[in-house]
Amino acid sequence: MNSVFGDRKTIIILLAPALLLYTLLKIGPVAWSLGLSFFEGNTLRGFEFVGVDNFTKFFTDDAALQSLGVSVFFAIVATAGQILLGYLLALLYVFVLRKGSSLLRTIVFFPAILPTVAVALLFRSFVAVGDNQGPVNDLINLFGGESVEFLATTSGTMATALAMTLWGSMGFYAILLYAGLLDIPDEILESAKLDGANGLKLVRHIVVPLSLPILLSSIIFSLNATLKVFDSLLALNNGGPGTSTAPLTLYMYRTAFEYAEYGYGSTIALVLTLLCLVFTLAIFRSSQRKAED
Amino acid sequence: MKAIRSRRVMVATAVALALTPLSACGGGAPQDAGSTAGGAGTGTDPSSFTILTANENKALPATLDALAKGACSAENAALPIEHQKVAQADVVQKVTLLAGQGALPAHFIAGTAMVRPDGDLGKGDLVLDYKEALEKLGAADQLLPAAAATVENVYGGMVSLPYQYNVEGIWYNKQIFADNGIEEPKTWDDLKEANAKLSQAGIMPMTQAGAAGWPLTRLMGMYIFRNVGPDAMKDVRDGKAKLTDPKYVAGAKALADLASSGSLGEGFSTRDADTSANLFLTGKAAMTYDGSWLLSSINDPKRNTIRDTNIGFMPFPAVEGGSGSIDQYAANAGAVMAMSPKQFGPKVGDWLKCISENYGAQALKDSGTISGFKVNEDVKELPVMTSQIQEKITELKDPVLWFEALLDPKSNSLASTNVSLLTTGQMSAEDYMGALQKSVDAAR
Amino acid sequence: MTVQPQVENPSVTVLERSEQPLRNRRRARRALKRLPVWTIVTIVVVVVLYPQVWMILGSFKTQSEFLSNPALSLPENWIFDNYTTALNNGNVSRNYLNSILVTLPSVALIVLIGVAAGYALEVLVWRGRKGTLLYILAGIMVPGQMILVPLFTVYFRAGLTDSLWPLIITYTVMGLPLTTFLMAAYFRSIPREIFEAATVDGSSPLRSFFVIGLPMMRNSILTIGLVQFFSVWNDLLIALTFTTRPDLATIQVGLLSLSDQYGSTQYGPLFAAVSINIVVLLIVFVFLNKKIMAGMAAGSVKG
């Protein structure tokens, strides 16, 4: 058997294109950029070696540390929400609606295809105050509350951004997880049902373990995507009020491309990459421990 | 095992291959930089007159195309015009990339800080000195003196063409002023009084598009210019004054007080440009401080329901005891539009001459855009407000800059992002100016 | 195996028909049981559609209606002016063509290369595959913005900047890590025995990828293809960085010209353009969704 699944020629044919393209055009450029963490300057001005100066700068740079906090907070909350909602929806599709889930799947996935700028505009107008007050404040007024200017505060902006992110991506994660659940062979479920497993029990003991690979992959993907959140916070409130909701990517982008300090921008990128690595490895380790149980 | 090792070697080689050409070009300064000195006619003509403009600016390429078909058709035949586009938010990055490859087009948009003498483009002699070039071409008199002054003040040299020239001031609703017995406020105190009156009458005194930040810092900046004098921000740049000096902090305080008094209406800090303009143009707000680009909305009867004859334009009021004068309007000359000295050959020179002689009239005719070029043709049937402002601009003397104009990019961005904290009481005037001064010092 | 679901349903109907008296009560009980489900579905649909209704309403409003009237008010006139403006903005047909010319090849390449790699990493057995998977996973961790500057240099020196190639190549590379990683995860959730059982007949390993691997994963492949399609279609950053000529602009770049330099936006035409965009994407989605359904019906290999 292993001779069939271990055929070297096959491995090379199937893997080489991906590995080659990926190494040449992604890892190479990234390595070049990250290498510039130790330099100062940009492609026009030229680069000057400064050793670890950029790193010491990073850890004394209030704006950078604030952004780091924003990214981590956003990633944890958004990931928890995305995966939870996505998984619940996927379960709903597969086990409750079954064949009838097609329409709902389409509808819920839909927001994922809207451009972020449009979605941000939409949510801005939803929480607007003043002359053309949005429905959120109408609702607050209805219950006797005073209108809240959400985007004038850090917590309000964060809450809006999270709502926007969940709204936009839960359908995406639902589909991602749904495809994983679909691939679970029916016999396994049938035989579990025959054994008397039902409802929550079935989900907990059969469905979750069987979909664990795709669930973990989704968590990893979600964490890595939300740690690098960029356009939604930028489009919603420009990282404001002040810079209190500016994530690390935005700070990096501004540093590297607006302030033209490519070296320091690369340092921020490197920190971000390490952060992603730490989170990913943490998930991997916890999953391995679970597998051992 | 062997297979794995050989694969590892393969991967390593691939990485190395990918890195070599990159690190080679990343190292020193790009070879093209500084190889040619600036100056009129010193370069060689490219194969086309390529112009890089912002995606968001549709008027400029359209007007240049109109010139290519009309007044500059001979120049266009010799060197055909060709357009390239870049997103406004992406200008600094794109121009850095292009310049790094020696691939700048003949005429291009750029970031403010880049073209200054100490900026990345300025240092490498990658921007043409128009003053010298236009003098050689005999077209130096085609620029309005005020516009030339603004360009030189902002960029430290004549390195941008004033395709727009915007004057800023307070636009007000004459009807609302009359109904409430208000005269044009001449001092900041008058303005505060007027605001109080209007608030009492249930009218929003002033609308500003706070979401963008700069519409708020403009008020603070103008207060500082009136209080300290027209060189207020130059002194900060040159280290002769600090933003934390009491006279500067007073500006931030004045803005914070204006905001907390409710004069800017509910939700001002998240209001966008369109909503703000709409509040003014539908008579819901009595005033707005804005630039003359507001004219395009004023002249649009679908948007302006208060009629253009009902709109007045006044300078930012004086501050009592201040050293600045009420006659000093703030003005700006739009985004940088530089030329590459390397490509400044005789044919590009002809284009430059033709543009400077004809752009003023063409832009006014086609889109009602007021530029910093002389209008050499009688343009008829201009909307009332446009011709009023156009006159004002022609006579403009001693324009001042705006608050952020001379700040480095990072401090510039900080000024407009933090202003929402200042105006919503989440940051004190002292802290605001303190943070900004710290950033200015760090960039020095 | 294909007939399985069809057998199930007729049998139920037959049963119900034979027990007429019980039918109503049973139906009522079932409806009651389904009530929470329908409540949830309704809430989900409302939450998802509500903002989109706002967007479509917005596409019919004039600028001043948009700014003066409450968010969910109906447009005063149902006119298509905004759609005309959106369709006449710049060179929309060229933008659409470019978007298609870029998206289709990119997605095809991403899926083909990515699925093959996923198969090689998960189904095939060789030492070092865990490490290689991690190596590819690293691609998800690095911020995408960091490849822009070096790649620009590479494309420029290779003389590719005046074509759509930089976009196609970059999208492919950007999409590969996620695709490979997710496909590996999907392959992992299939018990190995299924692959092994299917290979006993002695087909060559490469053949078995095309004959067994690909068809078996049809759902997942289409899902990922869909996801990549939308992310490529909606990208702005890469399209902005690697093109300057207006005739190479994609639809997302074209949308930028609906805003002006002073931060003002033509909301009506913007939403009209987004709505048109949605319709185009919806067609793709429905088409692919049908395929997924068909794939499921034919996906009897699975059982």
Average pLDDT, chain A: 87
Flag if C245 and B84 touch (Cβ within 8 Å).
yes
CA distance C168 to C77: 42
Res. C108 pLDDT band, cuts 50 70 90: very high
Given a cut of 70, whether residue C12 has pLDDT beyond it is: no
Cα separation, B278 vs C70, in Å, equals 14
- Shared domain for C36 and C102, answered yes or no, is no
Q: How far is CA B284 from CA A130, B208, B222, C177, in A?
A: 11, 13, 24, 53
Interface test with A, best of C34, C106, C123, C145 (most A CBs within 10 A): C145
Determine the pLDDT at residue A103. 82
pLDDT at B82: 94
How far out from the chain centre does Cα B140 lie? 22
Whether the per-residue pLDDT at C169 is higher than 70: the answer is yes
- Cβ-contact C120, C214 below 8 angstroms: no
The DSSP secondary-structure symbol of B84 reads E
- Higher pLDDT among residues C147 and B66, named by residue: B66
Q: What is the DSSP secondary-structure string of C246-293?
A: GGG--HHHHHGGGB-TTS-B-HHHHHHHHHHHHHHHHHHHHHHHHHHH
3-state secondary structure of B69: helix
Residue B78's pLDDT band (boundaries 50, 70, 90)? very high
pLDDT of residue B16: 41
- The answer, yes or no, to whether residue C83 has pLDDT greater than 70, is yes
- Total Cβ atoms within 10 A of residue B252: 26
Residue C5 lies in a domain: no
Sign of the Cα pseudo-torsion (B83, B88, B90, B96, in order): positive
Same domain for B437 and B289, yes or no, is yes
Confidence of residue B355 (pLDDT cuts 50, 70, 90): very high
Contact between A176 and A218 (Cβ < 8 Å): yes
pLDDT > 90: percent of chain B: 75
Please report all neighbours of A, defined by 3+ CB atom pairs within 8 A.
B, C
The stretch C218-231 carries a mean pLDDT of: 84
Quote the pLDDT of residue C202: 66
Under the banding of pLDDT at 50, 70 and 90, the label for residue C193 is confident
pLDDT in tens, B178-224: 999 999 999 999 999 999 999 999 999 999 999 889 999 999 999 99
C61 vs A74, more confident: A74
Whether residues C73 and C131 share a domain: the answer is no
Which candidate, B147, B137, B145, B95, places its Cα nearest to that of B338?
Answer: B95
Q: Which range scores top for mean pLDDT: A110-114, A252-256, B356-360?
A: B356-360
CATH code at A153?
1.10.3720.10
Band of residue C302 on the pLDDT scale cut at 50, 70, 90:
very low
Q: What ipTM does this complex have? A: 0.83
Q: Looking at this protein, which amino acid is placed at residue B276?
A: S
Question: How large is the average pLDDT for residues A225-249?
Answer: 89
Q: Is residue B18 part of a domain?
A: no
- Residues B166, B172, B173, B177, Cα dihedral to 10°: -160
Chain A residues in contact with C120 (beta carbon < 8 A): 10-11, 14-15
Token couple for C294: 């068909």
The CATH number for B78's domain is 3.40.190.10
- State how far the Cα of B185 lies from the Cα of B289, in Å rounded to an integer: 13
What are the CA-CA distances from residue C302 to residues C121, C200, C295 (Å)?
21, 16, 11
Domain that holds residue B215: 168-331+402-443
Gap from C80 CA to chain A (nearest CA, Å)? 19
CB within 8 Å: B269 and A8: no
Does B268 share its domain with B187? yes
Please give the full DSSP string across A78-144, using - where no structure is assigned.
HHHHHHHHHHHHHHIIIIIIGGGGHHHHHHHHGGGGS-HHHHHHHHHHHS--STT--HHHHHHHHTT
Residue pair C218/C295 in contact by the 8 Å Cβ criterion: yes
Q: Is the pLDDT of residue B22 over 50?
A: no
B15 touching A (Cβ < 8 Å): yes
Q: What pLDDT, on a 0 to 100 scale, did the predictor assign at position C291? A: 64
Q: Which two tokens stand for residue A35?
A: 């290498």
Phi/psi of residue B143, each to 5°? -95, 140
Structure tokens of C289? 């969704």
Six-digit token string for B314? 């006044």
B428 vs A: CB within 8 A: no
Res B13: pLDDT:
42
Residue pLDDT, tens place only, A13-27 = 899 999 999 999 999
Give the sign of the dihedral formed by CA B428, CA B432, CA B437, CA B442.
positive
CATH at residue C247 = 1.10.3720.10
User: What are the residues of chain C with a beta carbon less than 8 Å away from any beta carbon of chain B?
Assistant: 62-64, 67-68, 126-128, 148-150, 152-154, 156-157, 161, 236, 240-241, 244-246, 249, 253, 256-257, 259-265, 267
Taking the Cβ of residue C120 and every Cβ of chain A, the question of whether any pair is shorter than 8 Å is answered with yes
Task: Please tell me the predicted confidence (pLDDT) of residue C268.
Answer: 85
Task: Check residue B381 and give its pLDDT.
Answer: 83
Sorting pLDDT into bands at 50, 70 and 90, what band is C163? very high
Residues of B in contact with C262 (CB under 8 A): 273, 291, 293
Query: How many domains is chain A partitioned into structurally?
Result: 1
Domain residues for the domain of C114 are 89-258
What pLDDT score does C290 carry?
67
Is residue B21 assigned to a domain?
Answer: no
Helix (H, G, I), strand (E, B) or coil at B168: strand
Could you say which DSSP state residue C147 is in? Answer: G
- Smallest Cα–Cα separation from B421: which of A161, A237, A122, A231? A237
| Dihedral of the alpha carbons of C155, C157, C158, C160, in degrees to the nearest 10 | 50
In this prediction, residue B98 has a pLDDT band, given cuts at 50, 70 and 90, of very high
Q: What is the torsional sign of CA C22, C24, C28, C30?
A: positive
Yes or no, beta carbons of B96 and A44 under 8 Å apart: yes
Give mean pLDDT, residues C4-19: 39
Residues C216, C98, single domain; the answer is: yes
Residue of C207, C133, B13, C193 whose CA lies nearest to A7:
C207
Judge whether A27 is closer than 8 Å to chain B, CB to CB.
Answer: yes
Q: How many domains does chain B have?
A: 2
How many residues can be counted in chain B?
A: 444
* C-beta atoms of A131 and B279 within 8 A: yes
3-state secondary structure of B301: coil
- Domains: count for chain C: 2
Higher pLDDT, C205 or B300: B300
pLDDT band at C294 (very low <50, low <70, confident <90, very high): low
Given CB atoms, is C251 within the 8 Å cutoff of chain A? no
Q: Which of A62-66, A94-98, B83-87, B422-426 shows the lowest per-residue confidence on average (mean pLDDT)?
A: A94-98
* pLDDT in the model for residue A289: 66
More confident residue, A194 or B4: A194
Of the candidates B88, B282, B305, the beta carbon closest to that of C261 is on B88
Distance CA A280, CA C184 (A): 16
Whether C244 and B303 lie within 8 Å, measured CB to CB? no
The residue type at A288: Q
Residue B34 lies in a domain: no
Tell me the average pLDDT across A266-282: 91
Give the nearest partner residue to B409 out of A27, A45, A259, using CB atoms. Answer: A259
pLDDT at C129: 87
Q: Which residue has the higher pLDDT, C282 or B403?
A: B403
Least trusted range by pLDDT, from A182-196, B241-255, B334-348, B411-425: A182-196
Task: Answer yes or no: do C93 and C196 share one domain.
Answer: yes
Across A48-62, A226-240, B280-294, B424-438, least confident range: A226-240
Q: What pLDDT score was predicted for residue B202?
A: 93
Instruction: Work out whether strand B166-173 and strand B311-314 pair parallel, antiparallel, or are unpaired.
Output: antiparallel
Would you call the peptide bond into B315 cis, given omega within 30 degrees of 0 as the criterion?
A: no
Residue A11 lies in a domain: no
Q: Which residue has the higher pLDDT, B4 or B176?
A: B176
Residue B388 in any domain: the answer is: no
Check B418 against A242: CB less than 8 A apart: yes
> What would the mean pLDDT of B380-385 be, rounded to a whole number?
87
Regarding whether B176 and B135 lie in a shared domain, the answer is no
> How confident is the model over A182-202, as a mean pLDDT?
78
pLDDT exceeds cutoff 50 at C91: yes
- Alpha-carbon distance of B318 to C157, in angstroms, equals 56
User: In which band, very low, low, confident or very high, does the pLDDT at B378 lie, cut at 50, 70 and 90?
Assistant: confident
Interchain CB distance below 8 Å, C262 and B84: no
- Give the residue from C50, C65, C81 where a domain finishes: C81
pLDDT at A288 over 90: no
> How confident is the model at residue A230, as a pLDDT?
86
Number of neighbouring beta carbons within 10 Å of residue B116: 21
CA–CA gap between residue B219 and residue B314 (Å, rounded): 14
Q: Which residues are C179's β-sheet partners?
A: none
Q: Is A126 on the interface with B (CB under 8 A)?
A: no
Record: contact B56-C67, CB cut-off 8 A:
no
Do B205 and B254 fall into the same domain?
yes
Looking at chain A, list the stretches that DSSP marks H as alpha helix, in order from N- to C-terminal side.
2-5, 8-22, 28-35, 53-60, 62-91, 102-109, 116-126, 135-142, 154-182, 186-194, 199-202, 208-227, 231-237, 248-253, 262-292
